[in-house]
A and B are shown apart, each in its own frame.
Chain A
């Protein structure tokens, strides 16, 4: 029996939900809207909602003045690079823990999780000094390594919970047919786990894209991603709201779109499978 919902009640809930939703979304909406205004209109009071001269000028200025594309490219390199790099070593690990568990597999999983609990400030000073002494400060390779290690536990955990759902018999059958481990992973497990791997990829790109402790502490210019790009707007350019808005919009738009697709994965990944 389907539950009956009266139309009147549904309309009230609709109005309430939309009002709250719009309220929560407002700062983002306002940022996107402001990015299309001129600087004068951006700070005019009362604020203008629809009736202003829509302009794309800010986007051009932001690109020209602070080279958005270079930062965006760095963000893409860092997010994709760290995630793919992590997947390469995480897939075999998750396979081993899901399909060839030993006595200590559970402890191992818990230990991997515990590395995620270490506050970054506990490692900041040594990592900073190591990076400085080895010339890794502000290099893509250096940051990719840090982001990879940072998200590796989450990646292994997510893959592990997805792999657990695949029947072990299928993998065993391929092994009986004489497939090597490499072939088993590449041709049997990976195709079956594509949805899980894709979700993992998605979530970790989001996490790496928004990571704002290590990227702020370890980059300045050459390897700086969008987090640093935006931080550079804190002053005095922060006073130019239309340009700040255009820069912000460009920094968050790709992730808002990805996040649209990744809602379910966010839950699973961030709770380490504790809530599915």
Chain B
């Protein structure tokens, strides 16, 4: 039983982290919300509106205050629809590929075979590759239409090589990102498979349960929870994919929401618009986070 004194100590011990995270969360978020209501462009030669006192701000209301115009501007920008669509396509496809692929690979790795440890490492390795590296390797060495490896295979099969990044940039980005995230799903589903009750496996085997119904009635229900975890965690990371698009230069056609905000802010210097975009991204992420938090919270009680 924790005593009064340890509780007090506990509060003290926890305070640095709480303070640090509180500042990290609240300061930038407050500023982003504030900026999103300002007309604020870094190239504007007039004094920056962001540093004004409320009095000065009131005097220059016409120049500085934007009301909701940043939001309406961002939300009606055709680029927003495109970026939003790309974000959803990227998240959706990579999720489908990694859940299905991850399940199949996990089932495979759960079998007895020679060199299992080594094969497992090979399958997990892409997850450990830095996003900028995987972007460059895929763009140049795999998907280059003339000398890339895919082109070589197409040519040896007598097919016309495909210029992936020029003609199907979204598909190319999805393939690349899926390559990085299937291993993550595999790893988690495999861990969960290995905790499946050994006796249950044996019982099913002795009863001569056909493999498919064994999978359907015993394995799949066991995997539902880790699958949900995979889906939610990957969604959070996939909504924030940035480096792959930045490095491959596919922003024009496969650019997603984070990239659009980056373009508004650090390239077009429109801080107000970028902030409004940032807030929209925060709202979207929170919808996903809400479900994830509920799942993990339930787990904490168990």
In the bound complex, do residue B202 and residue A273 qualify as a contact, i.e. CB atoms below 8 Å apart?
Answer: no
Q: Shortest beta-carbon distance, A75 to chain B, in Å?
A: 9
In the bound complex, do residue A125 and residue B271 qualify as a contact, i.e. CB atoms below 8 Å apart?
Answer: yes
Partner of A241, one of B7, B131, B141, B225: B141
Set of chain A residues within 8 Å of B285, measured between Cβ atoms: 117-119, 122
Set of chain A residues within 8 Å of B247, measured between Cβ atoms: 230-231, 234
* Interface residues in A10-47 (C-beta closer than 8 Å to B): 10, 13-14, 16-18, 20-22, 24-28, 30-31, 34, 43, 45-47
Q: Shortest beta-carbon distance, B282 to chain A, in Å?
A: 4
Given contacts A25-B123, A110-B293, contact A210 B14 (CB under 8 A): no
- The CA-CA distance from A71 to B265 in the complex, in Å, is 26
Q: Which residue of B lies closest to A146 (CB)?
A: B24
- The CA-CA distance from A128 to B50 in the complex, in Å, is 14
In the bound complex, do residue B139 and residue A238 qualify as a contact, i.e. CB atoms below 8 Å apart?
Answer: yes
In the bound complex, do residue B29 and residue A124 qualify as a contact, i.e. CB atoms below 8 Å apart?
Answer: no
Set of chain B residues within 8 Å of A77, measured between Cβ atoms: none
**B113 interface residue (CB < 8 Å to A):** yes
In the bound complex, do residue A213 and residue B111 qualify as a contact, i.e. CB atoms below 8 Å apart?
Answer: no
In the bound complex, do residue A14 and residue B115 qualify as a contact, i.e. CB atoms below 8 Å apart?
Answer: yes
* Interface residues in B190-217 (C-beta closer than 8 Å to A): 191-192, 195, 201-202, 205
In the bound complex, do residue A213 and residue B243 qualify as a contact, i.e. CB atoms below 8 Å apart?
Answer: yes
Q: Shortest beta-carbon distance, B97 to chain A, in Å?
A: 12
**Among A51-59, A60-68, A193-201, A258-266, the stretch in contact with B:** A258-266
Set of chain B residues within 8 Å of A125, measured between Cβ atoms: 31-32, 35, 265, 271, 274-275, 278
* Interface residues in B65-98 (C-beta closer than 8 Å to A): none
**A108 interface residue (CB < 8 Å to B):** yes
- The CA-CA distance from A248 to B286 in the complex, in Å, is 35
* Interface residues in A144-177 (C-beta closer than 8 Å to B): 149, 152-153, 156, 175
Q: Which residue of B lies closest to A25 (CB)?
A: B122
Q: Which residue of A lies closest to B228 (CB)?
A: A274
In the bound complex, do residue B229 and residue A21 qualify as a contact, i.e. CB atoms below 8 Å apart?
Answer: no
In the bound complex, do residue A216 and residue B25 qualify as a contact, i.e. CB atoms below 8 Å apart?
Answer: no
**B174 interface residue (CB < 8 Å to A):** no
Which range holds the interface residue count of chain B? Answer: 35 or more
**B53 interface residue (CB < 8 Å to A):** no
Set of chain A residues within 8 Å of B229, measured between Cβ atoms: 271, 274-275
Set of chain B residues within 8 Å of A152, measured between Cβ atoms: 17, 20-21
Partner of B152, one of A25, A47, A245: A47
Interface string of B14-54 (1 = CB under 8 A from A): 10111011001101110110010000000000000010000
Interface string of A185-210 (1 = CB under 8 A from B): 00000000000000000000010011
**A50 interface residue (CB < 8 Å to B):** no
**B177 interface residue (CB < 8 Å to A):** no
In the bound complex, do residue A263 and residue B243 qualify as a contact, i.e. CB atoms below 8 Å apart?
Answer: no
**A239 interface residue (CB < 8 Å to B):** yes
- The CA-CA distance from A43 to B146 in the complex, in Å, is 9
Q: Which residue of B lies closest to A92 (CB)?
A: B13
In the bound complex, do residue B7 and residue A217 qualify as a contact, i.e. CB atoms below 8 Å apart?
Answer: no
Q: Which residues of A contact B (CB under 8 A)?
A: 1, 3, 5, 10, 13-14, 16-18, 20-22, 24-28, 30-31, 34, 43, 45-47, 89-90, 92-93, 95-97, 99-102, 106, 108-110, 112-129, 149, 152-153, 156, 175, 181, 206, 209-210, 212-213, 216-217, 226-228, 230-231, 233-235, 238-239, 241, 244-245, 248, 251-252, 255-256, 258-260, 263-264, 266-267, 270-276
Q: Which residues of B contact A (CB under 8 A)?
A: 2, 6-7, 9-11, 13-14, 16-18, 20-21, 24-25, 27-29, 31-32, 35, 50, 105, 108-109, 111-116, 118-142, 147, 149, 152, 155-156, 179, 182-184, 187-188, 191-192, 195, 201-202, 205, 225-226, 229, 233, 236, 239-240, 242-243, 246-249, 257-258, 261-262, 265-266, 271, 274-275, 277-279, 281-282, 284-286, 288-289, 292-293, 295-297, 299-300
Name 21 A/B residue pairs within 8 A (Cβ), A-sorted: A13-B113, A27-B126, A45-B147, A45-B152, A95-B13, A106-B300, A112-B18, A117-B285, A117-B288, A122-B28, A122-B29, A124-B265, A129-B50, A210-B128, A233-B136, A238-B136, A239-B140, A270-B184, A274-B225, A274-B226, A275-B229
